[in-house]
Amino acid sequence: MTFQFRLYPTPEQEKQLGITLDLCRKLYNSAKEQRETDYKQEGKTITYAMQQNELPALKQQFPAYKEVHSQVLQDCLRRLDDAYQRFFRGEAGYPHYKSADRYVSFTYPQPGAVLRTFAKAGSIYLPKIGVVKMNAHRPFDQAGVTQINVKRYADHWMVNISVKAPDVEAGAAVESTVGIDVGLSSFAALSDETKVDNPRYLRKAEKRLKREQRRLSRKQRGSRNRQKARRKVAKTHQKVARQRKDFLHKQSCRIVRDHDLIAVEQLKVRNMVRNRRLAKSISDAGWRQFITYLSYKAKRQGKRLVQVPAHGTSQTCVCGADVPKTLAIRIHNCKVCGLIQDRDVVSAKIILQRALKIAA
């Protein structure tokens, strides 16, 4: 379980946070360059352990790294190693060098580094940074803290505190069930015949975003005005992301609270966004993030989330008959049982049917 709070560092602390982030980024890029160079010249594969053992010598050669906590530097190298491992497993693309805009967080990974988390109420202790003011608006088990991640946003800093959550067993009795079919015309259709409107936050912000991007394109590279324009574009994107996140949290919380078994499709969003006509709308809807929220909230409350294969859910009737239709046909009309209903609602009912069979 992760809690996210806003930080209020002093000017000196904010400067040190920026320096720490920049040094971690340079270490990441240097470690990546070392791996590539050694492999091309000597055919030797550099491992995480080998690079970690070189950190003491690095601090002697570059004293600035002594101002960064040792575990933060180790986590930086571990990130690079994880990126390569995901690439070798075929789960992600080849790791890239990180610019200042793409390396925006650092982590204290081990519990030993965060046991002294709170120096006083409303603050957090970050090794090598100091005691930083924090808006801890939600209580949590301080003894269960496992790691701390500090992240920079367009205009502020946030801290993500991971806490070990107690295991909750799923309840044996299932009193309320629901199937969910996500879409674009409406965000979701439920098997109880209710529909959730699609807010389309990115589409609504496109006009302002285009205006800010045009202003950015006119600014001279390297100028202070260009930095201000880039910050405005980043804030616009940040607002859209916050609106979407708030919407998804509220909808997932309501669904998990009201139902004991929740059925969704196994969506391969990465393949779906390859459709250039629908990619922006699919990304704006946030289906993958929505299912992630449903998953951990259901687990936390002892509910069940069942994912079923997506094949044929929109081409089948609840009676089992095949009812083929294109995307343009929005009404399901079965010639066998005579059911006439919104196609998304029927899909949600079929998803629930499949989930009940799996659960049984």
Q: What pLDDT, on the 0 to 100 scale, is given for residue 115?
A: 46
Out of 75, 81, 260, 265, pick the active-site residue: 265
Is pLDDT of 118 > 60? Answer: no
- CATH number of this structure's domain 177-203+237-359, picked from the four choices 3.30.379, 3.30.420, 3.40.50, 1.10.10: 3.30.420
| pLDDT(120) > 70 | no
Q: What is the pLDDT of residue 113?
A: 47
85 pLDDT more than 90: yes
Q: Is 246 a catalytic residue?
A: no
Tell me the pLDDT tens digit for each residue of 262-318.
Answer: 999 988 888 888 888 889 998 999 999 999 999 989 988 888 999 998 888 888 888
Single out the catalytic residue among 75, 81, 284, 344: 344
Q: Which residue has the tokens 């002093």?
A: 10
pLDDT at 29 over 70: yes
**Is residue 181 flagged as an active site residue?**
yes
Catalytic residue among 181, 212, 260, 284: 181
Write down the H helix ranges in 43-134.
Answer: 48-53, 55-61, 70-88
Please say whether the dihedral angle defined by the alpha carbons of residues 165, 250, 287 and 104, taken in this order, is positive or negative: negative
Q: What is the pLDDT of residue 13?
A: 94
Put residue 273 in one of left, alpha, beta given phi > 0 → left and psi -120 to 50 → alpha: alpha
Specify the higher pLDDT residue, 47 or 320. 47
What's the pLDDT tens digit per position in 13-22? 999 999 999 9
Q: Report the alpha-carbon distance of residue 186 to residue 253 in Å, rounded.
A: 18
Answer yes or no: 258 catalytic: no
Q: Is the pLDDT of residue 196 over 50?
A: yes
Q: For residue 157, what are the contacts with CB-CB under 8 A and spacing of at least 6?
A: 6, 7, 9, 14, 17, 150, 151
Residue 306 CB coordination number (10 Å):
19
Asked if the model's pLDDT at residue 119 lies above 70, the reply is no
The ranges assigned to domains in the chain are 2-163, 177-203+237-359
Cα(128)–Cα(359) distance, integer angstroms: 50
